[in-house]
Structure 1
Amino acid sequence: MKTRVISALILAPILIVLVAMGGLPLKISIMILGMVGMREFYQAFSKGNNGLHTISYLFALFYGVFMEQVINGDNYFNIFVAVFLVVLLVYTVICHDKTNAVEGMSGFFGFFYVFFLLSHIYLIREFMYGKYLVWLVFSTAFGTDTGAYFVGIKFGKHKLIPSLSPKKTVEGAIGGIVTATILALIYGTLIDGFFVFDGVDVVLLCGLTGFFGSFLAQIGDLAASAMKRMAGIKDFGKLIPGHGGVLDRFDSVILTAPALYYIMLFLIEVAPL
């Protein structure tokens, strides 16, 4: 526990500074985190398949450099996905003696599960009002963890999904959602009083993010547990002492960030980026 707390105290200020800065520093940081997370994923599911990994890293690098254009360009993302998939299929066929279809699918999924979903942190930050709203990603994810932990300890009686996470309870899950939603509503009320959000019901936006983001944060946590159980590992990595790897620390953020981004797209009547 001591190591876990020390790591958090060191990393939290770095994270805050990078997110506050936005722009290129945040983009590069997200790309590095994404690459490290992809490596952790591939080490779990397709260890030793360097050719497959290289292809996936190259496509991730391309997406990272041009993510704004890929996401917002007409059909660019569809083209990117199609080319990525075709290249992986070609590799799987040509190098069938070194790989298989399952590993090919892991290459495709690894990019989208890790790099693509994490990239939404940067996309949110560069979105209109993103410098105020991006903090919802972290408050929702970590608020969910905190609420679920304390409510689970105090009131937890019914196991949620014991085969994946023996300690998680239904009461804890509900407590996590309630805590995250309350924090989001408080944050929305505060920033709505200090800043102008033209044409945006920021309290509604924050409330929706807190509720749905918290639900997805817990799905992300459980999904990571299911993957680790399947791979027969305790943690995806050892990069962060006391926390594990990138995927162990950001498993809930991975799904919370897209939730906020697409809620913003729906509620903010301004073209992103």
Structure 2
Amino acid sequence: MSNSMEASLKQRVITSAIGLPLIILMLFSPVPVIMGVIMVVSIIGLYEFYHAVGLQTHKPICLMGYLAALVIPLGIYLAPGTCMALVYLYVAALFIMMLISHRRVTLNHLALLIMGLLYIPYFLSHIIYIRNLEFGNFYIWLVFLGAFMTDTTAYFVGKQFGKRKLCPNISPKKTVAGALGGLAGGGLSFLLFGAVVNLFFTDALGGQHFNLFLLFLLGMIAAIVSEIGDLTASIIKRQYNIKDFGNLLPGHGGILDRCDSIVLVAPAIFLFLLKIGILA
């Protein structure tokens, strides 16, 4: 291993050693604390996204994005009709902004703004929706298991057995073996989590238990969308000729580089829990 690779790995380990306890602390926190974390992460993520796609020079548009990042997570406390009214007023305000500054603000700029809001604060807000469900204090762990265990197992399996490239034009380092390892890692980590909860925390689930088959299935789905999220972030970075979204996390890049899987995993898990469920 070269000195640069060793230094990068050391940075990743140190950052993970600091970040992991903070994530665990958040997972044990009440909804308002998690909401505050999502707001902060969303604003940082939007900042990185705007610099990546070139919106940072349009400060009024960026400010509108940061404002929305503070409001979107609050949607859990608002009635559907109120949310629809706020969306309408927000889009109307964007159109007025475009009418006033039509030489500088184009539809492309607004499209990037809306894409960023869906991609970052809206998708991340599903972590809050999951935590707010009955037994959400257990479910919320699945989001991070799905993202991090998929990434970790894909990395090590790909390192050991990866020969055939998965999609070299998008992410040259990813292999078919790594993708399959990530898929297995996602499913098995959910299965192990369910087995531990069923063994020690049945009383906390009101006498119910996790359906291990459904949990394994959800873990595989989470792994698939996690890898899609990772590859999508790679496409965005390639299209805009950047290596990382930022440098806030040494060895990992920016917030978006670390959350690129979570943004897709959280909505997928929420929808599965809402429509199918994992309790038996």
Q: How many residues align?
A: 267
Paired residues of 1:3 and 1:241 also in contact (CA < 8 A): yes
CA RMSD of the aligned region, Å? 2.0
Kindly state the Cα deviation for residue 112 of structure 1 after the two structures are TM-superposed.
1.0
Equivalent position of 1:32 in the other structure: 40
Single out whichever of 216-225 and 181-190 deviates more from structure 2: 181-190
Single out whichever of 256-265 and 80-89 deviates more from structure 2: 80-89
Kindly state the Cα deviation for residue 92 of structure 1 after the two structures are TM-superposed.
2.1
Single out whichever of 204-213 and 160-169 deviates more from structure 2: 204-213
Q: Percent identity?
A: 36
Q: What is the alpha-carbon distance in structure 2 between the residues aligned to residue 269 and residue 6 of structure 1?
A: 35
Equivalent position of 2:268 in the other structure: 259
Paired residues of 1:192 and 1:202 also in contact (CA < 8 A): no
Residue 220 (1) aligns with residue 232 (2)? no
Kindly state the Cα deviation for residue 82 of structure 1 after the two structures are TM-superposed.
3.4
Q: What is the alpha-carbon distance in structure 2 between the residues aligned to residue 59 and residue 142 of structure 1?
A: 27
Q: What is the alpha-carbon distance in structure 2 between the residues aligned to residue 13 and residue 5 of structure 1?
A: 13
Unaligned runs of 5+ in 2: 1-8
Does the residue aligned with 1:167 lie in a helix, a strand or coil? strand
Alpha-carbon distance change, 76 to 209 in structure 1, aligned in 2, over 3 angstroms? farther
Residue 103 (1) aligns with residue 109 (2)? yes
Structure 1, residues 169-205: CA drift from partner, whole Å, max 9, x if none? Answer: 1121111001110111111122122233456744244
Within 5 Å, which residues of 2 pair with 1:43-192?
A: 43-45=51-53, 46-64=55-73, 66-70=74-78, 73-192=79-198
Paired residues of 1:85 and 1:108 also in contact (CA < 8 A): no
Alpha-carbon distance change, 30 to 170 in structure 1, aligned in 2, over 3 angstroms? same
Letter of the 2:98 counterpart: T
Does the residue aligned with 1:168 lie in a helix, a strand or coil? strand
Q: What is the alpha-carbon distance in structure 1 between the residues aligned to residue 173 and residue 130 of structure 2?
A: 33
Single out whichever of 15-24 and 194-203 deviates more from structure 2: 194-203
Partner of residue 10 from structure 2, selected from 2, 5, 9: 2
Structure 1, residues 136-193: CA drift from partner, whole Å, max 9, x if none? Answer: 1111111111211122122222211111100111121111001110111111122122
Q: What is the alpha-carbon distance in structure 2 between the residues aligned to residue 267 and residue 122 of structure 1?
A: 19
Paired residues of 1:217 and 1:253 also in contact (CA < 8 A): yes
Q: What is the alpha-carbon distance in structure 1 between the residues aligned to residue 67 and residue 209 of structure 2?
A: 38
Unaligned runs of 5+ in 1: none
Q: What is the alpha-carbon distance in structure 1 between the residues aligned to residue 156 and residue 26 of structure 2?
A: 29
Normalised to the residue count of structure 2, the TM-score between the two structures is 0.89
Q: What is the alpha-carbon distance in structure 2 between the residues aligned to residue 268 and residue 153 of structure 1?
A: 35
Paired residues of 1:60 and 1:111 also in contact (CA < 8 A): yes
Kindly state the Cα deviation for residue 14 of structure 1 after the two structures are TM-superposed.
1.0
Equivalent position of 2:29 in the other structure: 21
